[in-house]
Amino acid sequence: MKSIVGIFSILFFAIPSLAEVTCEGYRQFPDLTSKSVTLEVVFETAMQIKLVADIGDIHYLVNGDKTTGDYYTIISKGPEYIEGSIASGTFNSHGQLKGSWVIGSEIFKIVCKK
């Protein structure tokens, strides 16, 4: 029985928490009003995480490698999804990762926290 508890303890502490990364998508309109949405985890393993959300025709995506700490953010405009921004990076010393895109006077952002 002790060995089973020991194995579960090792697995629990070796696998990163499912709620480790949280991300918000933001859209600021020309009249300075804004909307935000929480990105949802659609795929997660011990090594990778993928979060997505939409605000209207704007799609927000974060994909990351938990073992290396390398992440990328995508903000794209549907329905074709051929316009947008892609940024890659790692979480900074404050535990944040950001990506943004500007179209005219509209601002789109992804802000992730760890």
Task: Express each pLDDT in 58-68 by its tens digit.
Answer: 999 999 999 99
Judge whether 107 lies within some domain: yes
Sequence-ordered list of residues with C-beta below 8 angstroms from that of 66, at least 6 positions apart, any chain: 16, 20, 46, 47, 48, 49
Host domain of residue 70: 18-113
Which pLDDT tens digit goes with each residue over 24-78?
999 999 999 999 999 999 999 999 999 999 999 999 999 999 999 999 999 999 9
pLDDT for residue 95 is more than 60: yes
> Quick check: is 29 in a domain?
yes
Residues 59/81, Cβ–Cβ less than 8 Å = yes
pLDDT at 81 over 60: yes
Task: Write down the pTM of the prediction.
Answer: 0.81
Does 52 fall in a domain? yes
CA 44 to centroid of chain Cα atoms: 12
Cβ contact 63:72 at 8 Å: yes
* Phi–psi pair at 11, nearest 5 degrees: -65, -40
Task: Specify the number of domains making up the chain.
Answer: 1
Record the tokens describing residue 32, joined without a space.
């300075």
Q: Does any domain span residue 11? A: no
Q: Is residue 6 part of a domain?
A: no
* 62, part of any domain: yes
Q: Is residue 1 part of a domain?
A: no
Residue 30 maps to a domain: yes
CA atoms lying within 13 Å on the CB side of residue 12: 6
